[in-house]
Chains A and B, each alone.
Chain A
């Protein structure tokens, strides 16, 4: 399967701990997106990379959140000093172009902060 993969699929952490998620996009896709989805809601945009450049960040992305895509391939999303409100599904998506190109989503990482 050459789709978008995410690791881990599930993460349980205690409040105040740091967590890091990884996303591997479809190999020929140069655009990568992170979204967050809470129960009963649609995905909300967090940030966007074109190759290794982070071009767009949502106001949802507080200072505790940081994302990287060091070589324009895989990406990591780190949350520092987790809070219970960070509990959500974190989705990664990739696309081969902008605007009119569909985004392909990974299975997500479900974060539970206790």
Chain B
């Protein structure tokens, strides 16, 4: 079975400082990894994904994420946080090598990012 862990319920950071939101995953094969952001009363918005290739992937709104196969991690990062980045962030995984039931995304429980002035 595939799973995702987001160990921090909330991350607090001051505007202008770098931010990291942590994610670790477990799959039997090789993973496809995704980050989504959710603003209040809105659906999830796609930020970025790792499929293959360069371990550092860049996405929307200045976010990036680093895939680390040995640590089974896919941490979300941003060099300089904005107050408007405050939202709920979800990491998700899909096992790329499983046949049949490979279509679903498995999400973590989410990390609330709070950016303050």
* A interacts with B: yes
Residues on B with C-beta less than 8 A from A98 are 102-103
Chain A residues near B4 (CB-CB < 8 A)? 42
State which size class the interface on B falls in: 20 to 34
Q: Which residues of A contact B46 (CB under 8 A)?
A: 102-105
Alpha-carbon separation in the docked complex, A106 to B36 (Å):
13
Size of the chain A interface, CB-CB below 8 angstroms: 25
Closest Cβ of chain B to A85, distance in Å, is 19
Q: Which residues of B contact A108 (CB under 8 A)?
A: 43
Query: B50-70: which residues lie under 8 A (CB-CB) from chain A?
Result: 51
- Tell whether, in the assembled complex, residue B51 and residue A45 are in contact, meaning their CB atoms are under 8 Å apart: no
Contact assessment for B94 and A99 in the assembled complex, using a CB-CB cutoff below 8 Å:
yes
Residues of B participating in the A interface, judged by any CB pair closer than 8 Å: 4, 32, 34, 36, 41-46, 49, 51, 90, 92, 94, 96, 100-110
Chain A: residues with CB nearer than 8 A to chain B? 4, 31, 33, 40-45, 48, 55-56, 58, 91, 93, 98-100, 102-108
